[in-house]
Amino acid sequence: MGHLALEKPYVALQERLDKNPIGAPATDELYEILRIRFSAEEAAIGARMPMTPAPLDVLARRMDEDPERLEAKLDRMARKGLVLDFETNGRRFYMLAPTVIGFFEFTFMRLHEELPNKRLADLLCSYMFEDDKFAKNAFRGETQVGRTLVHEKTLSDDLRAEIMPYEAATEIIKNAKLHAIGLCYCRHKAMHHGNPCKKPMEVCTSLNGSADWIIRRGFGR
């Protein structure tokens, strides 16, 4: 019975993560990932976070927690990449980081000596690529989480149609007010999985609000 009680926060967390646009189908690999990245207390907090960003006072009432103590816990989770936080009109809002794009990536956007990196890399590769549950879940909807931007120099003049500024990667980067660079999650994970990439590691680019969070929480510069 004690074992079941220990697992309960992680089951609740998986169920909450699975409500996101890119869900989190339950597998043994996912539960092990969650146990490595979240303490039982953090899993319980994450499971009770609403689908939309919420300020501290709302979360404290929802979880029946002292606001100051909850703020410290949320700050610790944000430093681990488990919670996203941002300020709007003088109020700080918090939301649970999804699997993708979220704490899966943040796990390998920083050098973690305290984490079992090899095991995490193996688990993530198995969960995302060897079992098709996650892939089918990620692409189940009509609206996708990302879009492809053309590398403009690869297009010859006879194939080039007019690329509007919002479709041009160069324009998006040029017009961004803040830029951040960090470790490539994919290449860092591949290194620990035993399949190192020979390309540079520090290439992951974030822009604007995402860049602010990446820099503030120590996942890039």
pLDDT digits (tens, 9 = 90+) for 40-67: 999 999 999 999 999 999 999 999 999 9
Q: Is the pLDDT of residue 166 over 80?
A: no
pLDDT at 1 over 60: no
Residue 121 contacts by C-beta under 8 Å, 6 or more apart in sequence? 108, 189, 190, 191, 192, 193
Angle between helices 56-63 and 67-79 (to 10 degrees): 110
With a threshold of 0.85, does the pTM exceed it?
yes
- For residue 6, being part of any structural domain is answered with yes
State how far the Cα of 29 lies from the Cα of 128, in Å rounded to an integer.
Answer: 10
Kindly report, residue by residue over 202-212, the tens digit of the pLDDT.
Answer: 999 999 999 99
pLDDT at 155: 72
**Is the CA virtual torsion 59, 63, 66, 71 positive or negative?**
negative
Domain membership of residue 154 (yes or no) is yes
Strands 83-88, 54-55: parallel, antiparallel or unpaired by DSSP?
unpaired
Cis peptide upstream of residue 22 (ω within 30 degrees of 0): no
The C-alpha atoms of residue 20 and residue 145 are separated, in whole angstroms, by 11
Number of domains in the chain: 1
Whether residue 144 lies inside any domain: the answer is no
Q: Mean pLDDT score of the chain, rounded to an integer?
A: 91
Whole domain around residue 206: which residue ranges?
Answer: 2-138+149-216
Tokens of 135: 């892939």
DSSP assignment string, 4-47 = HHHHHHHHHHHHHHTTSSS-----HHHHHHHHHHS-HHHHHHHH
